[in-house]
Structure 1
Amino acid sequence: MDFRQLRFARAMEFTICEINNRSDLLPDITLGYQIYDSCSDVQMAIKVALQCENGLDPVFNDTSSCFKSAAATVPAVVGDSTSSASISMARMFGPFGIPQVSHSATCACLTDKNQFPTFFRTVPSDQHQAAALARMVKYFGWTWIGAVRSDTDYGNYGMTAFLKAAQEEGICVEYCEAYVRTQPRSKLESLADVIRRSSSRVIVAFLHAPDMKCITEELARKPVPPIQWIASQSWIIHPDFLKINMCAGALGFGFPRSVIPSLREFLLHLSPEKALKSPLLTEFWESSFSCSLKGSSKGVRQCDGSEDIRALQNPYTDTSQLRTTNLVYKATYAIAHAIHGIICNETQCDKTITFAPWQIQHQLKRVNFTTKNGYRVNFDSSGDPEAVYELINLQFKKDGALDFVTVGYYDTTKPRGQEFKVTSAVSWFGGQNEVPVSVCSESCPPGTRKAVQKGRPVCCYDCIPCAEGEISNKTDLLDCLRCPPEFWPNSMQDSCLPKPVEFLSWDDTLAIILTVFSITGAFMSVCVTAVFYKHRTSPIVRANNSELSFLLLFSLTLCFLCSLTFIGRPSEWSCTLRHTTFGITFVLCISCVLGKTVVVLMAFRTTLPGSNVMKWFGPPQQRLIVLSFTLIQVIICVVWLKLSPPFPFRNLKHYKEKIILECGLGSAVGFWAVLSYIGLLALLCFILAFLARKLPDNFNEAKYITFSMLIFCAVWITFISAYVSSPGKFTVAVEIFAILASSFGLSICIFAPKCFIIVFRPEHNTKKHLTCKVPP
């Protein structure tokens, strides 16, 4: 005998007695009742339903004065306890309109009013319990679980709802096994082996209490790894599991604990004489005290009246956890209120009114009241109540015994997102205080992403480092995040840092070296100018066109100094200045060299008989040549600056991990036009100098110009390829180097020999020596 189920039946008796003694509910009306035992069996439940419909003799009737209706049918039913039995009964009652209010059938399928139009219940649907279980599993971080269910409507429908909710929460199920205690033992052994071999340490058990008991007994036969049980309400509140240490630490949702005043006294107010009036109570008495009330059993002692029911310790007398019992209490009151709504008005009740069961069904949809112990009772359009659960944890007490401890709740009446809450410390399996871990793969740390393993659930994955330029700043990200263009990941790839900005700054070692060379070159040009000025009347200075020489030295000084504009953070003015200054000063320089070369050639042509060419290349014409060539470059630069001038910009493409701050060309055509014009003049100067290379050595500087132009052309031809391929700040450095190298080449090749003669060989600085009239 299931003493707990007997308590449910007697709770209905107690509720009816309480209703019959009330003056505000069905006054002067006495309710009767019949109690049938379905034995939790579908076939028996169908038989009971037929008995209720046909008015056959009841198993137990304690009210002999009940009014017998003409139809002789039961107008309303409380029960059954199991979902499978309730489904069968609901299919039988539906066509007859007999309302059925269950206190424990939780299958979500019973919500369907098309199939079960007369079914109501005071217990929440498993749809809510499944969502609550999935929320709890997610809350504690378990993503890799096992699942076991009873192979019944309760287990199958409940587990289906849970698996759907778990999938939405990102929870993976390693296995899902079904079992019912009537199956062969081989099935139970196979299930136990699956649990032992599994890697998941958390098991969601959507099981009837007897099925769960069988599984724990089988697991106890051999060593089993620590298991964190997640229980459905059917067994987490069952007192039998307080004796099974394997279930210590189990978590599950149960109905709220309640207090029903006077129920305990009613249950204990039972004597042998009263027990004899009912076969159910007779069986309970004889089973509890191991004696016979009727004295017909052989080998069993006769009950002598000394039995003390208050001394019993079993689920029947245990009223400390009135959870499902309170749902019976509510279901019985709901039917009473529905009948009251039919035969009573605000002042009195008419006990002569006859009514049909469908009228009670209609009234049940409208009931809305509060029971004497303070619980609200109403039904939604599906015949279901609001879902309120307590989160129950099986914990050891100080005396070493297990106990039901409420550690949280799940309440669908609360705002969305606040339904579930843990309010107390949870005791886990093995008595540990830390939340157990049950994952298929360890969490992927920041800097990595999850890559699902082929052919396995999504919870089983590998941790792959983020690709270059990407980060993950949280654990278990599916995809890495690309840093914004101006940012780059740190070494851990868990955050984006601003990219360092690179340019040729003044404090850079390379910039310092180039600055020193630039200032040295300018200083050298100034020194040469001073030497030439001091000896400006000497033959070697006057013979080499002193005016163009001074202009050339001035332009060389500007060439050396213009390289300084390429150093430092690029700005609009510096980008504009560096390219135009460079282009104009170099053309000025080459124009002076070109003018000197032309003068040398024309000077020797005047020695030919009848030649008066030199009159076209006097000082005014030389100035005009220099001015004309320079003016052309100025025009090119002005057009460039007008149409598309150089500008500072942040180069994000050349380097992935840093920003190059450089000057954009604006118009590439303008830039290359400036360089091409310089190259054209240099080439022309080289050709003319090459043609004059065989003139008398003592006067002729054409070979030095030739050599200087050769260096100049070689430097700038090399510069083009180096400029295109050099990265970042080295592009600027290459350009500065080309400017300095070509400037030094011109300065040294053209002026070094003259300065050597002026300073160290003054005896050669004579007109006779220059005209080759002095023997070598």
Structure 2
Amino acid sequence: MHARHALVVAAAWLVGRAAPAAGESARVRGAVRLGALFAVHGAPMEARAGAACGMVREHYGIQRVEATLMALDAINADRRLLPWLRLGADLRDSCWAAPTALRQTIDLVRDAIAPSEALHRQSLISGKTGLCAAVSYSATARELSDRARFSTFFRVVPSDKHQARLLVALLRAHNWTYVHALHTDESYGQSGMAAFREEAARGGVCVAREVALRAAPSAAAVDAALAQLARGPQVAVCWCEGRTARALLAGLARAPRRRLRLVASDGWADRRDVVEGLEHAALHALTLRIRSPYLDHFDRYYLALTPHNNSRNPWFQV
């Protein structure tokens, strides 16, 4: 996904700090505490400052929080890995909104570099110092590979250039060398589409028309975009995040005679919430998915959780 919602890890010696107000974060005590942001809730419905967050996102929010907590449990339980310390965590909600993510990131970094006075005295005695870096579990934007600008950024997923190369190879394999292009008009879509344009020019794929849509476009905006793509090729490369893809599928469902095959990036590859109720419109679409093994043990862990036995995740009970 895009750079603004990258996982921020601020590792610091944060022993004994007071917990925030209930519901603000999920905390695990430890000698080294990992700070992380997850889009537990969707973006606010209103653009004004202080607007309430949207609905809880189970797949991309709650499950990622629980996957982190499960991983911490496994690391702490294996004394061969880090026998000299216990990992903790401070997990916060970005609400899928850049202002909220920025505020939470500043709070995490501030806690890392300017801990309480008592902790400062303890660090002077022990000789321990804070460390601040950024690690992403889903950011694929190409610009994050620029080490001169993002020297402390690391990620565990490949950059967009690899997806762009694969998309071009997929198009050429089907002899779809004349296509339309759609993208979400924010960092994920912009960066991905820039990578695709470069690879398409290099690989002999011609883009007839390119259209940008907001992350959550209105029905009128989608219908206007589809009208622009009514002529020419019947294949469109879609570098779109989930909300944009669902809006496009809804637009195609409103015009069943309009034939447009979507060949898409990883933004909605395995998301049931994007295609639910619109499966007929998504028929014949092709999407990429970053390879990752299925974790059966996470299913067992997650399905055993209830609001009664899961007190450390404040959003699980919502």
Find the counterpart in structure 1 of residue 228 from structure 2.
194
Q: Any idea what SS the aligned residue of 1:40 has?
A: coil
| 1:272 equivalent in alignment to 2:307 | yes
Q: CA deviation at 1:97?
A: 6.3
State how far apart, in whole Å, the 2-side matches of 1:257 and 1:50 are: 31
Among candidates 57, 62, 65, match of residue 2 of structure 1: 57
Find the counterpart in structure 1 of residue 142 from structure 2.
108
Among candidates 137, 152, 160, match of residue 118 of structure 1: 152
Question: Could you tell me whether the CA contact under 8 Å between 2:179 and 2:208 is conserved in 1?
Answer: yes
| 1:70 equivalent in alignment to 2:97 | no
Question: Could you tell me whether the CA contact under 8 Å between 2:180 and 2:209 is conserved in 1?
Answer: yes
Q: CA deviation at 1:239?
A: 2.1
Q: CA deviation at 1:100?
A: 1.3
Q: Any idea what SS the aligned residue of 1:177 has?
A: strand
TM-score (norm 2): 0.72
Partner amino acid, structure 1, of 2:181: A
Unaligned segments of structure 1, at least 5 residues: 57-67, 74-95, 284-776
| 1:134 equivalent in alignment to 2:168 | yes
Partner amino acid, structure 2, of 1:32: G
Question: Could you tell me whether the CA contact under 8 Å between 1:149 and 1:205 is conserved in 2?
Answer: yes
The higher radius of gyration belongs to: 1
State how far apart, in whole Å, the 1-side matches of 2:84 and 2:299 are: 26
Question: Could you tell me whether the CA contact under 8 Å between 1:130 and 1:161 is conserved in 2?
Answer: yes
Partner amino acid, structure 1, of 2:242: A
For residues 708-753 of structure 1, the C-alpha deviation after alignment (integer angstroms, 9 at most, x for no partner) is xxxxxxxxxxxxxxxxxxxxxxxxxxxxxxxxxxxxxxxxxxxxxx
CA distance 1:114–1:125, shift in 2 (3 Å): same
Find the counterpart in structure 2 of residue 259 from structure 1.
294
Partner amino acid, structure 2, of 1:49: T
Partner amino acid, structure 2, of 1:254: R
Q: CA deviation at 1:248?
A: 1.8
Q: CA deviation at 1:28?
A: 4.8
Q: CA deviation at 1:257?
A: 3.8
Partner amino acid, structure 2, of 1:17: D
State how far apart, in whole Å, the 1-side matches of 2:66 and 2:294 are: 15
Judging by fraction of residues, say which structure has more helix.
1
Find the counterpart in structure 2 of residue 249 from structure 1.
284
State how far apart, in whole Å, the 2-side matches of 1:215 and 1:261 are: 33
Which aligned pairs between 1:638-677 and structure 2 lie closer than 5 A?
A: none
Q: CA deviation at 1:261?
A: 5.0
Find the counterpart in structure 1 of residue 183 from structure 2.
149
Which aligned pairs between 1:161-200 and structure 2 lie closer than 5 A?
A: 161-183=195-217, 185-195=219-229, 197-200=230-233
TM-score (norm 1): 0.31
Q: CA deviation at 1:225?
A: 2.6
CA distance 1:71–1:47, shift in 2 (3 Å): farther
State how far apart, in whole Å, the 2-side matches of 1:113 and 1:257 are: 26
State how far apart, in whole Å, the 1-side matches of 2:287 and 2:251 are: 22
Q: CA deviation at 1:41?
A: 1.0
Q: CA deviation at 1:51?
A: 1.1
CA distance 1:176–1:71, shift in 2 (3 Å): farther
Which aligned pairs between 1:721-760 and structure 2 lie closer than 5 A?
A: none
CA distance 1:134–1:154, shift in 2 (3 Å): same
CA distance 1:143–1:52, shift in 2 (3 Å): same
Find the counterpart in structure 2 of residue 158 from structure 1.
192
Q: CA deviation at 1:271?
A: 2.3
Partner amino acid, structure 2, of 1:247: A
Partner amino acid, structure 2, of 1:99: A
CA distance 1:72–1:126, shift in 2 (3 Å): farther
Question: Could you tell me whether the CA contact under 8 Å between 1:241 and 1:247 is conserved in 2?
Answer: no
Q: Pick which of 131-140 and 257-266 moved more.
A: 257-266
For residues 40-73 of structure 1, the C-alpha deviation after alignment (integer angstroms, 9 at most, x for no partner) is 21111110111101229xxxxxxxxxxx953999
CA distance 1:201–1:183, shift in 2 (3 Å): closer
Find the counterpart in structure 1 of residue 75 from structure 2.
19
Among candidates 90, 101, 106, match of residue 50 of structure 1: 106
Q: CA deviation at 1:17?
A: 0.4
Q: Any idea what SS the aligned residue of 1:213 has?
A: helix
Q: Any idea what SS the aligned residue of 1:35 has?
A: strand
Q: CA deviation at 1:184?
A: 5.2
State how far apart, in whole Å, the 1-side matches of 2:176 and 2:197 are: 14
Between the aligned residues of both structures, percent identity stands at: 25
State how far apart, in whole Å, the 2-side matches of 1:260 and 1:4 are: 14
Q: Any idea what SS the aligned residue of 1:149 has?
A: strand
Question: Could you tell me whether the CA contact under 8 Å between 2:185 and 2:215 is conserved in 1?
Answer: no
Which aligned pairs between 1:308-347 and structure 2 lie closer than 5 A?
A: none
State how far apart, in whole Å, the 1-side matches of 2:275 and 2:223 are: 24
Q: CA deviation at 1:199?
A: 2.1
Find the counterpart in structure 2 of residue 238 from structure 1.
271
Find the counterpart in structure 2 of residue 530 from structure 1.
none
Q: CA deviation at 1:183?
A: 4.9
Q: Any idea what SS the aligned residue of 2:150 has?
A: coil
Q: Any idea what SS the aligned residue of 1:274 has?
A: coil
Structure with more relative contact order (C-alpha pairs < 8 Å, separation 6 or more): 2
State how far apart, in whole Å, the 1-side matches of 2:217 and 2:252 are: 16
Question: Could you tell me whether the CA contact under 8 Å between 1:110 and 1:119 is conserved in 2?
Answer: yes
Partner amino acid, structure 1, of 2:68: M
Q: CA deviation at 1:205?
A: 0.3
Question: Could you tell me whether the CA contact under 8 Å between 2:179 and 2:234 is conserved in 1?
Answer: yes
| 1:29 equivalent in alignment to 2:85 | yes
Q: Any idea what SS the aligned residue of 1:174 has?
A: strand
Find the counterpart in structure 1 of residue 133 from structure 2.
99
Among candidates 244, 253, 262, match of residue 211 of structure 1: 244
Q: CA deviation at 1:27?
A: 1.5
Unaligned segments of structure 2, at least 5 residues: 1-55, 113-117, 124-129
State how far apart, in whole Å, the 2-side matches of 1:18 and 1:170 are: 48
Q: CA deviation at 1:233?
A: 0.6
Q: Any idea what SS the aligned residue of 1:135 has?
A: helix
Partner amino acid, structure 1, of 2:120: A
Which aligned pairs between 1:112-511 and structure 2 lie closer than 5 A?
A: 112-183=146-217, 185-195=219-229, 197-243=230-276, 244-275=279-310, 277-283=312-318
Q: CA deviation at 1:4?
A: 0.7
Q: CA deviation at 1:252?
A: 2.4
State how far apart, in whole Å, the 1-side matches of 2:158 and 2:312 are: 35
Q: CA deviation at 1:226?
A: 2.6
